[in-house]
Amino acid sequence: MTKDLFRQDSYLKACEAVVTDVDHDAIVLDRTVFYPMGGGQPGDVGTIRWKGGSAKVSDTRYGESGAIRHIVGEDAARPKVGDSVEAELDWDRRYRHMRMHTALHLLGSVLQYGVTGGSISAEKSRLDFDMQDAVDKEQVSKALTALVSENHVVSCRWITDEELEAQPDLVRTLSVQPPKGAGKIRLLEIEGVDLQPCGGTHLKSTGEVGLVRIGKVENKGKHNRRLNIHLDD
């Protein structure tokens, strides 16, 4: 199992680690700052360096039993199990994912409808809403910009299934019902705006989202409105 440093501190750009497994196209470390694809957020890319070599990481995925696989490809040089390495993210790309991801939480709080899908990339992100109403793009855009400029604090905390059950008020305030039976749940809170279970990487405060713009609004069926967002810098 790889220790997921990015869940404690999403601003870590690099870490020292020890190689625990090397397979046909990936390197597994005992700890990492690389986010593995999940929850609509892409896997991180970057570089792993060791004494006498390095490899470009083109994607990051979960493997078996909590191992995080840094995909380097079949032709890449690879370190040996037990080697010490440095793992460094493509931070510019990841930071855009964090801005997008946090912006999507804000968008979900502006449009109080069920979310049926979503996807994040550094260039463009989207959320699909279970809604039939027309979208007032200008109003949504204004509300989103206001939440960014109000600079709400964003934080994460872990709670157990028992703690969640003991706090019915918390369950009522959650915008998304948490998965049951995992033992513990990671909650993402945007103070005064949103509280929901989420495992992704977020900003410290909404002001860091910066210049965000609502793009195309698409009708994807009678009950589905897709909103695209862009970062304007």
Beta strands in the chain (DSSP E): 3-4, 14-22, 26-29, 31-32, 46-50, 53-57, 59-62, 68-71, 84-89, 114-119, 124-130, 154-160, 184-190, 194-197, 212-219, 224-231
Chosen residue from 68, 190, 198, 227 binding Zn ion by CB under 5 A: 198
Indicate whether 42 belongs to the interface with Zn ion (CB under 5 A).
no
Chosen residue from 178, 200, 226, 227 binding Zn ion by CB under 5 A: 200
Smallest distance from Zn ion to CB 80, Å: 36
Window of 1-9, 15-23, 190-198, 211-219 that interacts with Zn ion by CB under 5 A = 190-198
Residue 79 or 200 having the CB closest to Zn ion:
200
Q: What is the DSSP letter of 195?
A: E
CA distances from residue 192 to 100, 110, 141 in whole angstroms, order as listed: 19, 12, 19
Window of 112-120, 124-132, 199-207, 223-231 that interacts with Zn ion by CB under 5 A = 199-207
String of contacts with Zn ion for each residue 133-172, x by CB under 5 A: ----------------------------------------
Indicate whether 178 belongs to the interface with Zn ion (CB under 5 A).
no
Smallest distance from Zn ion to CB 105, Å: 6
SS3 string of 132-165?
CCCCCHHHHHHHHHHHHHCCCEEEEEEEEHHHHH
Residues that bind Zn ion (CB under 5 A): 188, 198, 200
